Structure 1
Amino acid sequence: MNKISIVGGAGRVGETTAQILAEQELCREVALLDVNEGMSEGVALDIVQTSPFFKFDSRVVGSDDPSILAGSDLVVITAGQARKPGMSRSDVLEANVRVIDAVTDEIMTHAPDAMVLVVSNPVDTLTYRVAQRTGWDRRRIFGQAGVLDASRMAGFIAQETGFSVRDITTMVLGGHGDTMVPVSRFCTINGIPLSHFLPEERIAAIMERTRKGGAEILALRKNSSAYDAPGAAVATMIDAIVRNRRRLLPCVAILDGEYGEREIAMGVPCVLGWQGVEQVVELDLEPIERADFDRSAASVRADIERLREIS
């Protein structure tokens, strides 16, 4: 790609993402937009000064002027209010939907041909909002959640089993919140089912810890939610798109009949390639898994209904 922009680029997730994108040279230019005057320019300058160490030539720039988005191939939205200890992701909906609406309008004005990757919470609902507001092809609008949740689950499994995380594959579906659906049946260690190595109660504990993974970090840090793993998750999705890898990754996608759902965005397995979400993969869920998925969808729909009240 020629240019990737990050809205909220002076925030911790935005800055981490920008650093990885530059280091991996996933585009020629990384543009950081932030409402706080001078902050994105400072972040950009700091990242540029790491280039002699990491040997990258990507250009990194910052501004508080939305026109910096012009020419973007992809825009990452990390802007918005972060949750505090004890808050759910849905608790920041009212504040963040107003931010997202303003950001979406700026993207439509300055980068009408871009793809949009939503990171701000509640990510499922806000991804739906961006799609609704733009009216763009659903392949171009998607959110980051499942990649992060699946990585957390893989990390927990590696800690529990002692096996290399390189051999661990996980799958997490549903909304990015307490009702997310880690599907242990699709979790393997080098192709061998997880159930071969761990008893049912330990797997259940890992699934529950995965659901609370973000809250656990927030409670420990107290003054910050996670940003290292989220930034890496965003970069992983962008790598799949930029390099047209057609990777199968769990992402927030706009559903149009898949899993029996429409007019909703939530985490499902997607094929990511040059056009964005090139395919939504439907898994044959067992009754308990299906019930959990439906419960998660109902939670996302409740937030979507709140959008109408806020609007």
Structure 2
Amino acid sequence: MDKKVTVVGAGNVGATAAQRLVEKALCDVVLVDIVEGVPQGKALDLTQAAAIEKHDAKIIGTNSYEETADSDVVIITAGIPRKPGMSRDDLISTNAGIMKNVTTQVAKYSPNAVLIIVSNPLDAMCHVAFETSGFPKNRVIGMAGVLDSARFRAFIAMELNVSIENTHAFVLGGHGDTMVPLPRYSTVSGIPITELISPERIDALVDRTANGGAEIVAFLKTGSAFYAPASSAVEMTKAILYDKKQILPCAAYLQGEYGINDLFIGVPVKLGKGGVEEIIEIKLTDDEMARLKKSAAAVEELKAVLAKLK
């Protein structure tokens, strides 16, 4: 195929993203992981599935970056999950080191790629990738808003017993409990959900969305969500590879938009072959803006932790 995507990290999110990319026949894929044998084995398994899934996309598993050269998009999922007894600062420190090493290699072999960051804490890892790669801001994007909006859409569809295809939703802000779901801009076949759902139920859906990841972790006990995060990264990748000019909520680097400077924050953006081609500024109420600023302050705290690590 004429399009190539690298997925760094062959864990649940990375491997599922690789699977969806090839089975949608969007591109050839290189799956990279530091654990010898894991990316090779998963790539071989997916290659054997191709005969049944009926696609000709190629997938390669490797422990090095040479075969990733000239990728159009690189999805970075590498990093460790937060473990019992580990502070947020510990998680940032460890994953920042991983992100720096990965991004250095990616930038070396694919200097024109668009980076989609999935690793947590997401907003902080976007800053590490941005500063390490030296890429322009439009080519470093965080996957958060697409996932959070998908969760909101799912809960809206469940609440109203309607097709999820009829739902649209926007969730802005940082990826965490300070995210900002926007019911006014969330619709079912163009009808704002504020016309269809009571304020009390909307508040419940908003709260469930903000805690969507934690709810899954509580069920799984020893893992976290990966199907929806992988789908979200693939949705963004498709928009970039095929220059779809799709409006999606993503973590983008703001320089004055929404009154926020020098931070990666989830906002509506136009995604095309250049990555973020436009940041869409929508009108927010005073309350919505206050919540967005609160979310930005939380990201600023993460950025301050990164500064201490230098």
1:89–1:56 CA distance, 2 compared to 1 (3 A): farther
**In 1, distance between residues paired with 2:85 and 2:248?**
29
1:219–1:103 CA distance, 2 compared to 1 (3 A): same
Look up the match of 1:219. 218
Q: Is there any run of 5+ residues in structure 2 with no aligned partner, and where? A: none
Moved more, 126-135 or 262-271: 126-135
Look up the match of 1:48. 47
Deviation of 1:67 after TM superposition, in Å, equals 1.7
Contact 2:72 2:241 survives alignment (8 Å): no
**In 2, distance between residues paired with 1:169 and 1:91?**
36
Look up the match of 2:149. 150
Query: Does 1:20 pair with 2:20?
Result: yes
Contact 1:85 1:218 survives alignment (8 Å): no
**In 2, distance between residues paired with 1:129 and 1:71?**
21
Deviation of 1:76 after TM superposition, in Å, equals 0.7
Counterpart of 1:47, as a letter, is: L
Query: Does 1:4 pair with 2:5?
Result: yes
Q: How does 1:127-276 map to 2 (within 5 A)?
A: 127-276=126-275
Q: Deviations over 1:172-195 (max 9, x none)?
A: 000000100001110111111101
**In 2, distance between residues paired with 1:250 and 1:275?**
16
**In 1, distance between residues paired with 2:36 and 2:93?**
24
Counterpart of 1:226, as a letter, is: A
Count of paired positions? 309
**In 1, distance between residues paired with 2:294 and 2:284?**
14
**In 1, distance between residues paired with 2:82 and 2:225?**
11
The secondary structure found in structure 2 opposite 1:264 is: strand
The ranges of structure 1 where at least 4 consecutive aligned residues each deviate by more than 4 angstroms after the TM superposition are: 84-91
Query: Does 1:77 pair with 2:76?
Result: yes
1:91–1:216 CA distance, 2 compared to 1 (3 A): farther
Deviation of 1:85 after TM superposition, in Å, equals 7.6
1:195–1:91 CA distance, 2 compared to 1 (3 A): farther
Q: Is there any run of 5+ residues in structure 1 with no aligned partner, and where? A: none
**TM-score by structure 1 length?**
0.96
1:57–1:123 CA distance, 2 compared to 1 (3 A): same
Deviation of 1:166 after TM superposition, in Å, equals 0.8
**In 1, distance between residues paired with 2:116 and 2:164?**
26
The secondary structure found in structure 1 opposite 2:230 is: helix
The secondary structure found in structure 2 opposite 1:72 is: coil
Deviation of 1:293 after TM superposition, in Å, equals 0.1
Deviation of 1:2 after TM superposition, in Å, equals 2.2
Deviation of 1:139 after TM superposition, in Å, equals 1.2
Q: Deviations over 1:196-248 (max 9, x none)?
A: 11110100010010000001101110111100011111111111111211110
**In 1, distance between residues paired with 2:19 and 2:87?**
28
Deviation of 1:50 after TM superposition, in Å, equals 1.1
**In 1, distance between residues paired with 2:95 and 2:40?**
23
Deviation of 1:281 after TM superposition, in Å, equals 0.3
Counterpart of 1:270, as a letter, is: V
The secondary structure found in structure 2 opposite 1:106 is: helix
Contact 2:89 2:305 survives alignment (8 Å): no
**In 2, distance between residues paired with 1:210 and 1:86?**
26
1:85–1:171 CA distance, 2 compared to 1 (3 A): farther
**In 1, distance between residues paired with 2:89 and 2:141?**
18
The secondary structure found in structure 2 opposite 1:125 is: helix
Counterpart of 1:24, as a letter, is: K
Q: Deviations over 1:144-181 (max 9, x none)?
A: 00000000001011111111111111000000001000
The secondary structure found in structure 1 opposite 2:296 is: helix
**In 1, distance between residues paired with 2:86 and 2:275?**
32
Sequence identity percentage: 42
**In 1, distance between residues paired with 2:89 and 2:245?**
31
